[in-house]
Structures are given as C-alpha cells and as structure tokens.
Structure 1
Amino acid sequence: EFYKRFQARQLKNSSFVQVLAERVPEKVLKNVIVQSAWNKTLLVDHEMLERAIDWGTYLYRCIEQLTPAFEAAEAQVLQAIQEGVDTPRKLYHRFSATIPTERIQKALKALDWIGLVQKGADPVSHSVIYVPIDKSVEVEHTT
C-alpha cells in the first residue's frame, strides 16, 4: 500500500524530488529492521511497520516542502550543462545577471551529490567540466 502511494506521488513531482526521494521506501524497510533489532525479535509487527511508514511519509513530505527552494538554481544550471555550458567559468558568465557565483557553486555541488551531473576534467585544457548523467530525467523549466 505504502509503495503504491509512493509511486503515485513520485509521478506527480519534479525530477529533483524524484531523485532525492527515490530511496525512501528502502529507508522505511531499514527503519523496520532497526526497530525489530531494538526489540530483539525477528518478527515485524503491525506497530513497527506503521511507525516506519509514518516516518517515511514524513520524510517524503519534508523533501517535497524543502525542494522548491533548492530547485530553481539547480534546474537552471542543470539545463545549461545539458545544453553544453559545462565549465564553471561558462556558467558564471551565462548566469552573471541572475544567479550569484556562490549559488552556482552550491548548485553544482548539489547536482553532483544527487547524481545528476559528474565532475570531470577536459582532456585538452584540463579545466573542470560538468557532464550530465542520464537518469532519463528531463529538467522542468523554472523562471
């Protein structure tokens, strides 16, 4: 039941929420296992499962509510990287009028952390480049 609701909720959300929340069901299962270990039992009872599902639902709601503040700059930076603007210098130049340099740096770190881009080096110039990782996720345009 929880997993069906989770999947339906995922489909309604943006790609960033989907990526950040994709492991919530796995965390719910781990929560139940930990509760079982704390209770020194191999059996999972209804209350343990209910607590874990409540916790997972709360975790998902937190991700949904905190993500919009995160998404705007990250979505713009990811879109630019997908369009070939792949070095920090090019990104700073492209967004100089709209996004502060520090925010671009944070966006790059966040995108790398959630696995939407990978940091690398240009084989010719050896400068830092960012390469989009195809997770079959399109960026929603935000303004």
Structure 2
Amino acid sequence: MQSPDFLNSLAGFEEVEHTADWAYRVWGQNLAELFIQAANGLYAIASVQRGANSPVSRNIQLHGVDYESLLVAWLNELLYLHESEGLGFNQFEILHLDRHNLQAKVSGAPVKNWNKLIKAVTYNNLAIQTTEKGLEATLVLDV
C-alpha cells in the first residue's frame, strides 16, 4: 500500500482496479516523464527482477499517429524485447518525442525473473489527460 505522499509526487505510477485485466495509472509533469513512469510501472506490475551482470542498452525508434499510440507502442516494444531477447530495462532516456515519433535509449540487463505474464498493452479507454500537475493516463494490460 502506498502512502498518501506517494500520490502527491509529480511523477509516478500506481496499480488500479480493473474488472478483467490489470490496469495502472501514470503521471508526470511532461510527456517524457509520463512515458518513463509508464515503463517503470510496467516492470513493477510484472515484478521483474533483472540480473546484476551483463548490462545492455538498446536504441528504440517508434512511429505513431498520436501520443497515445506512441505510448502503447513504447510499452509493447519493451514487452517484445523481453519476449525476444529476455531483457528488462530500468534506465530510460527519451531523446526525442513528438506527436508521431519517439526515440529513446534504454538500459538494463537480462531478466532473472518475470513474475506476471503480460501479453500486451491495450488502447482500452486510453487518453492522455492534462491535470493541474501535468499529464496522466490509465493503461490497461492484456494478461
């Protein structure tokens, strides 16, 4: 259980109730923070444990029709890198982000343990909302 101070932070994530799948809410002061918190939340929900050895990094370039499609593509790319190469990341640098393009550098290590299977990130009711503190979105995971 998170403390009330956790919800007052300017960037973060928290798991939320969802009827059939898993969902989590992310927030940040800007789009780059929102995307990074979405990645952090994905790994936290899956209870990922990375190995201490063999650090790796990858450059990611994605295209989309809007910020929401880029957010889904971003998280699904991280899932793909786990499925295809057994990798998990804990350092994220957004190099470029506009309405149609995302360039990022991610660093991490081979995954020792991925405790919860996540098939994909969905578009279910996804909308990036402006709040008085910045931006927020709720993501639904297909499990």
TM over 0.5: no
TM-score (ref. length: structure 1): 0.21
The structure that is helix-richer by fraction is 1
The structure where strand makes up a greater share of residues is 2
**TM-score relative to the length of structure 2:** 0.21
